[in-house]
């Protein structure tokens, strides 16, 4: 602290009392580091006289000379050099004291270091020279001093930037002029083929851009993506630079490697002033990028109504098509820009125009949930039941994407409640599958077929059962849905609910009369499915409603066997135990033996299922294991049940 604060007497006293002259702090800075950084020459000399290491390193490998140079303390720097400090010593980023003095603009220190032999073009770990540092920070006097001592005016850093690139990027006009006066190449290229004019345009430095142009810079220089400075200025939103470049003759129709012209960019980003300037200079109003988009498509994409109007006033095609045959109205509808959509319609856009998937703008608005745009299109006569390539209507699309508000709006405008897509899905199928209860009820209120069949004969009730939509399942049943409806593989809704473990839906179906032992075309019962996928609570529910654990599928397998074969050993035991208890309870009940019934209720205690993990949701094609597994248990009754079953199978 004494060295840092300049308290010489205190420092001497401490040294006399045995203080270590090179003691380091938590950043490994010695007293000499601190005195040098703070400019206390007398303390620095005292420390050196007491044996301080002149080139001691701190935690980033900087010496006291780095600190003195960074802080601009010329006298301290000279004192350190007199005592043997290395003039080109490097820190952990390979910076020398000259880098530090140049970075901070300390011309006198820089000259002192150069007088003592410092390398003028020394490189740090990014290949930057001291001239790069001075150019970056705008230190013209240091830059000139370095140039006077022979610094390379076009030295390259690791990205092939010259000092002129750096000065231009940072808006340092005076340094840029000094470099140009000393012979810097005005159109020098970096590793991305960018010129200093690209750099100035990127950062919006209009004065530097004009200086470079005055010195002969190419206004339409191309980088590695064929981007000109005008493209760059527009991409970055620098309208003043863009206009300045146009005034200096920049090409209005230059295309980059994606065939974007300046008008595309101005239209996309809402640069109205530049867009008008480009149009006034004859820019192609319907220029196409590599996906065939025009500036009007891009103005429609980002909702630039004023630019869209300007483009249309200059003759832009309102029905221009992209590579996928989308018009600007498709784009405005997709992105929810109602004002642009209305502008396009007012200028003659077809409301039901089709893209290559036969989608209309109403499909697009419905897909993204833009109710206001959808209503505007309908007000202009859009077909509410237009079909795309998959025979989907806007109502199908809105439901698939979960936009219930749009779906209801379409229904209120007369959308067909029973329209079918190419898989024969109706809107009610989709509402049931996706859990859109409000829409499902609205469809039913409008007379939708409650038992409509898709191309695999699934009803809406099958789909509600598949994803566990109990409320929708209940509503469908209330409206007369067949609880025993069969798919083309003879699955009932109860099969589906059991397969996916939806206990509440299964209970609802059972309460409405679903057959607990219904068979599909492979003779699977709902209990087979629940057992196979380890849905214990559903399985117990089915057993309690009378499902047989001995029911055989078409390959002769019981639910118990399927559970065991799938690795659900504990569940297999529980199923057998549950069925055994149920049957014994029924028998006891028939004998009116309440005591026996109570004992059996007490006996059914093996219900801790913490070790049972439900299976992953199965695919529609099941690879059933055909091996019979022996399950070892502690319950005598259950073991007997399983052994009896195996004996019967062997016979």
Q: What is the DSSP letter of 110?
A: H
- Name the packing angle between helices 371-379 and 404-412 (round to 10°): 20
**Alpha helices, DSSP H, located in 545-628:** 559-565, 569-590, 594-603
Whether 381 is in a domain gets the answer no
Interatomic CA distance for residues 269 and 442, integer angstroms? 42
Name 49's Cβ contacts closer than 8 Å, sequence gap at least 6: none
pLDDT of residue 607: 37
**Cβ pair 609, 571 in contact under 8 A:** yes
615 band by pLDDT with thresholds 50, 70 and 90: very low
Cβ proximity of 523 and 547 under 8 Å: no
Query: Per the domain annotation, does 649 fall within a domain?
Result: yes
- Provide the domain count of the chain: 1
User: Which of 18-27, 53-62, 559-568 shows the lowest mean pLDDT across its residues?
Assistant: 18-27
pLDDT at res. 487: 97
pLDDT score of 610 more than 80: no
Task: Quote the pLDDT of residue 588.
Answer: 63
Please report how many Cα atoms fall inside a 13 Å half-sphere around the Cα of residue 478, on the Cβ side. Answer: 10
High-pLDDT (> 90) share of the chain, %: 80
Write a three-state SS string for 508-558: HHHHCCCCCCCCCCCCCCHHHHHHHCCCHHHHHHHHHCCCCCCCCCCCCCC
Has residue 16 got a pLDDT over 80?
no
pLDDT at 467 over 90: yes
**Per residue in 340-383, pLDDT tens?**
999 999 999 999 999 999 999 999 999 999 999 999 999 999 99
Residue 572's pLDDT band, with cuts at 50, 70 and 90, is confident
What pLDDT score was predicted for residue 614?
Answer: 44
Per the CB < 8 A criterion, the answer to whether 69 and 97 are in contact is: yes
The answer to whether residue 622 sits within a structural domain is yes
Find out whether 47 and 80 touch, Cβ atoms under 8 Å.
Answer: no
Provide CB contacts within 8 A for 636, sequence distance 6+. none
Please give the average per-residue pLDDT across 556-573, as a whole number: 89
Provide the pLDDT confidence category of residue 7 given band limits of 50, 70 and 90.
Answer: low
The answer to whether 39 and 71 have CB atoms below 8 angstroms apart is yes
Q: What is the CATH number of the domain that holds 642?
A: 1.25.40.20
Residue 258 or residue 581, greater confidence: 258
The mean pLDDT of 187-213, rounded to a whole number, is: 98
Tell me the average pLDDT across 192-197. 98
C-alpha to C-alpha distances, 115 to 87, 108, 119, 309, 362, nearest whole angstrom: 10, 10, 10, 66, 77
Is there a domain that residue 522 lies in?
yes
In a domain, residue 578? The reply is yes
Look at residue 569 in the predicted model and tell me its pLDDT. 84
Q: What angle do CA 532, 534, 539 make, to 5 degrees?
A: 90
Asked whether the whole model's pTM tops 0.75, one would answer yes
Q: What is the pLDDT of residues 129-152, one digit of tens each?
A: 999 999 999 999 999 999 999 999
Residue 109 in any domain: the answer is: no
> pLDDT value at position 574?
86
- Flag whether 208 is in a domain: no
Residues 6 or more apart whose CB falls under 8 angstroms from that of 241 comprise 200, 201, 204, 205, 206, 209, 229, 233
Chain Cα centroid distance, residue 54: 53
Q: Is residue 542 part of a domain?
A: yes
The per-residue pLDDT for range 232-290, each reduced to its tens digit, is 999 999 999 999 999 999 999 999 999 999 999 999 999 999 999 999 999 999 999 99
**pLDDT classification of 613: cutoffs 50, 70, 90:** very low
CA-wise closest residue to 566 among 611, 625, 623: 625
Is the pLDDT score of 634 beyond 50?
Answer: no
| pLDDT of res. 4 | 63
Enclosing domain of residue 628: 516-651
pLDDT tens-place string over residues 298-330: 999 999 999 999 999 999 999 999 999 999 999
pLDDT-derived band at 626 (thresholds 50, 70, 90) equals very low
Q: pLDDT value at position 434? A: 94
- pLDDT for the residue numbered 22: 81
Angle between helices 140-148 and 173-181 (to 10 degrees): 20
- Residue 84 neighbours by CB distance under 10 Å: 9
């Amino acid at each position: 602290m004494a060295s840092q604060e300049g308290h010489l007497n205190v420092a001497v006293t401490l040294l006399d009392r045995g203080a270590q002259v090179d003691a380091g702090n938590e950043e490994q800075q010695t007293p000499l580091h601190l005195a040098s950084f703070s400019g206390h020459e007398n303390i620095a000399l005292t420390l050196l006289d007491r044996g301080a290491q002149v080139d001691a390193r701190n935690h980033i490998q900087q010496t006291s000379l780095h600190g003195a140079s960074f802080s601009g303390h010329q006298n301290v720097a000279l004192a350190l050099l007199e005592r043997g400090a290395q003039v080109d010593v490097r820190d952990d980023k390979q910076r020398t004291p000259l880098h530090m003095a140049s970075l901070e603009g300390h011309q006198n220190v820089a000259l002192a270091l150069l007088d003592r032999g410092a390398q003028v073009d020394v490189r740090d770990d990014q290949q930057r020279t001291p001239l790069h540092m001075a150019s970056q920070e705008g230190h013209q006097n240091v830059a000139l001093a370095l140039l006077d001592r022979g610094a390379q005016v076009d030295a390259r850093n690791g990205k092939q930037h010259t000092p002129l690139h750096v000065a231009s990027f940072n808006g340092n006009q005076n340094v840029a002029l000094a470099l140009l006066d000393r012979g810097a190449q005005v159109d020098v290229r970096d590793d991305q083929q960018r010129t200093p004019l690209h750099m100035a345009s990127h950062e919006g430095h209009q004065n530097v851009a004009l200086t470079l142009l005055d010195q002969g810079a190419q206004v339409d220089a191309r980088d590695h993506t064929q981007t000109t400075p005008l493209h760059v200025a527009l991409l970055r939103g620098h309208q003043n630079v863009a206009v300045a470049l146009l005034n200096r003759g920049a090409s209005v129709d230059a295309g980059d490697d994606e065939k974007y012209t300046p008008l595309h960019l101005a239209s996309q980003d809402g640069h109205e002033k530049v867009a008008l300037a480009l149009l006034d200079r004859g820019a192609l109003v319907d220029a196409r990028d590599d996906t065939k988009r025009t500036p009007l498509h891009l103005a429609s994409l980002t909702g630039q109504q004023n630019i869209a109007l300007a483009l249309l006033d200059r003759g832009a095609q309102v029905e221009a098509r992209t590579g996928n045959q989308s018009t600007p109205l498709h784009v405005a509808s997709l992105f929810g820009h109602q004002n642009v959509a209305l502008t396009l319609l007012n200028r003659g856009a077809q409301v039901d125009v089709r893209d290559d998937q036969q989608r209309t703008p109403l499909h697009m608005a419905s897909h993204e949930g833009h109710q206001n745009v959808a209503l505007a299109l309908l007000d202009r006569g859009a077909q509410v039941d237009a079909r795309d390539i998959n025979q989907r209507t806007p109502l199908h699309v809105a439901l698939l994407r979960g936009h219930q508000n749009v779906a209801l709006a379409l229904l209120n405008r007369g959308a067909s409640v029973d329209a079918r897509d190419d898989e024969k899905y109706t809107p009610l199928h989709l509402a049931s599958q996706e859990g859109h209860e409000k829409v499902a009820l609205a469809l039913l209120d409008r007379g939708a077929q409650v038992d409509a069949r898709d191309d695999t004969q699934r009803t809406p009730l099958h789909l509600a059962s598949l994803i566990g939509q109990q409320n929708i399942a209940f509503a469908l049943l209330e409206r007369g849905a067949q609880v025993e409806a069969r798919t083309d593989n003879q699955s009932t809704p109860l099969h589906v609910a059991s397969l996916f473990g939806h206990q509440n839906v299964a209970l609802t179906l059972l309460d409405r009369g679903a057959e607990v032992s219904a068979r599909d075309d492979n003779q699977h019962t709902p209990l087979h499915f629940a057992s196979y996928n380890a849905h214990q609570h559903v399985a117990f529910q089915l057993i309690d409603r009378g499902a047989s654990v001995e029911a055989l599928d078409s390959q002769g397998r019981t639910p118990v066997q399927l559970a065991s074969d799938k690795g659900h050993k504990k569940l297999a035991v529980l199923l057998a135990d549950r069925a055994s208890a149920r049957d014994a309870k029924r028998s006891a009940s028939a004998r009116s033996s309440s005591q026996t019934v109570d004992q059996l209720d007490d006996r059914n205690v093996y219900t801790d299922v913490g070790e049972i993990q439900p299976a992953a949701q199965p695919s529609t094609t099941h690879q059933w294991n055909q091996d019979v597994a022996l399950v070892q248990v502690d319950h005598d009754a259950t073991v007997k049940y399983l052994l009896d079953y195996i004996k019967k199978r062997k016979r």
